[in-house]
Structure 1
Amino acid sequence: MIVERAYAHVAEADRGDGSQWPWSVPCVRQLLDDGLRFTAPVTFLVGENGSGKSTLVEALAEGFGLDSWGGSAGYRYAGPREPSPLGGRVRFEASKAGRRMLQGPRTRRRGFFLRAETALDALGRERGTGRISGSPEEMSHGEGFLMAFRERFNEPGLYVLDEPEAALSFASCLELVGLLDDLGRSGAQVVCATHSPLLTALPGAAIVEVGEHGMRPAQWQDLEIVDHWRRYLDDPWLYLRHIVGS
């Protein structure tokens, strides 16, 4: 484990009336009030679009010193993205290994922030440092993701992923499950926002359900995404009859 708890302190005056983003997002409000405790080397954040998963993982990555545009601690705001009002306030209760990273210069921090929409740009910058061997431009989107997982996610650090399954086939998602398991066992830590019931089935992983309630621990078999996929695959027409013409 690298970090054991994330939290942020924001004065009431800076939050305004609480109706402005990101202070209006329930999981952000809970982060400010209670923090987020990590209980396993791999943690999945699940929830509907708009629930705040991406806001939360981006703030965690930025608070740790990773590039919020996507990338490692060796870059900062390499893209045209301004620092978020939340990310700069995130702090961590860390393990001994995590404290060594956080107390030293930012370039000592190990890890990577993978955003689905900016991953290829971030990987291109990483290739320029010699940290990855292939050229993302010469690969499919999914192949580029897997190259990053195999070659860049290979040392203890904090790895923050935002919907990494977006570019992956079923078989590639299974490979990613194995790589995440290897990372967790190696002393690294993973925080992953996802819609994938395949990824969240990783044994031993913690699952945090994000929504209007804020954040709460969940079991894989109780997740709405698992229930919906199970019923859809059993009988797609139960859903499609409400969407397409008969």
Structure 2
Amino acid sequence: MIVERAYAHVDSYDEGTWPWSLPCVRGLLKDGLRFTAPVTFLVGENGSGKSTLVEALAEGFGLDPWGGSHDWRYASRRRKSMLGERIRFDAAPRGRRMLSSWSARKGFFLRAETAMDALDREGYEPDSVSHGEGFLAAFRGAFLEPGLYVMDEPEAALSFSSCLELLGHVHHLAENGGQVVCATHSPLLTALPGADIVEVGEHGLRRVEWQELALVDHWRRYLDNPQAYLRHILG
């Protein structure tokens, strides 16, 4: 483990304005987010705030919020986010040196929208491979050392078999001392044994078991009987 808890403090805020309007952000301000396993998945509907959370966590750790490692911090010239600049961490023993020394900090932020640009800046020549292969290339070449690795919906570019390969990389990274925080819609990824799953929604943040996830139930029902869903969509 690299970090054991993320939290943020704000003296005052307007609940009607973003990002404070998101229940998960208010939950972070109130109780923080504890990490109890080397791999944590954040799961929720579009608009629930899971991407906002992972971006803020990456920025708080010093990773480029546009995507990339700490060596490319703010390469995109983006302004610091209101939440990201307030994120603080309680570090595990392995992570204390990283948080106290910029040169010792290791990690990567992989986001679906900017992955190819980030990989290009990191020297992985993504133009020579498919989008999905670019994601996997990052794991083969950049996700190796103990550090904090943050991902936002990596399954967006991947086939079923590539998702399985990604899952294997995440497992080995965690076994070798890395910590992963991943926002996802994938029932395949969240099935990783031993992973912690945090559901993001109107309730804020809560831990759930894989079999209790709404996305797992919906995928199971859909694959068993697609027409039960499609008749409502196609009229």
Which residue does the alignment assign to 1:118? 114
Matched, 1:31 2:21: no
**Which runs of structure 2 are paired with 1:76-95 in the superposition (5 Å)?**
76-95=73-92
Find the aligned partners of 1:101 and 1:76 in 2 and give their Cα distance.
15
1:69 shift after superposition: 0.4
Which residue does the alignment assign to 1:3? 3
Deviations along 1:40-60, whole A, 9 cap, x unmatched? 000000000000000000000
Deviations along 1:147-190, whole A, 9 cap, x unmatched? 00111100100000000000000000000111111011111100
Find the aligned partners of 2:168 and 2:111 in 1 and give their Cα distance.
20
> Sequence identity, in percent?
72
Letter in 2 for 1:111: G
Which residue does the alignment assign to 1:218? 208
Q: Which residues of structure 1 form unaligned runs of 5+?
A: none
Runs (4+) of structure 1 exceeding 4 A deviation are: none
1:108 shift after superposition: 2.5
Find the aligned partners of 2:186 and 2:144 in 1 and give their Cα distance.
23
Please, which of 151, 157, 160 is the counterpart of residue 161 of structure 1? 151
Q: Secondary structure at the match of 1:117?
A: helix
Which residue does the alignment assign to 2:139? 149
1:193 shift after superposition: 0.2
Which residue does the alignment assign to 1:137? 127
Find the aligned partners of 2:189 and 2:93 in 1 and give their Cα distance.
28
Find the aligned partners of 2:9 and 2:160 in 1 and give their Cα distance.
40
Q: How high is the TM-score relative to the length of structure 1? A: 0.94
Matched, 1:18 2:8: no
Which residue does the alignment assign to 1:205? 195
Letter in 1 for 2:9: H
Letter in 1 for 2:119: L
Which residue does the alignment assign to 2:52? 55
Letter in 2 for 1:125: R
- How many pairs does the alignment contain? 235
The alignment yields a C-alpha RMSD, in angstroms, of: 0.8
Letter in 1 for 2:7: Y
Q: Secondary structure at the match of 1:243?
A: helix
Q: Which residues of structure 2 form unaligned runs of 5+?
A: none
Q: Secondary structure at the match of 1:210?
A: strand
Which residue does the alignment assign to 2:70? 73
Deviations along 1:69-106, whole A, 9 cap, x unmatched? 0000001221242210000000000012211011112x
Letter in 1 for 2:6: A
Find the aligned partners of 2:104 and 2:110 in 1 and give their Cα distance.
18
Find the aligned partners of 2:17 and 2:104 in 1 and give their Cα distance.
34
Letter in 2 for 1:108: A
Please, which of 39, 42, 54 is the counterpart of residue 42 of structure 1? 39
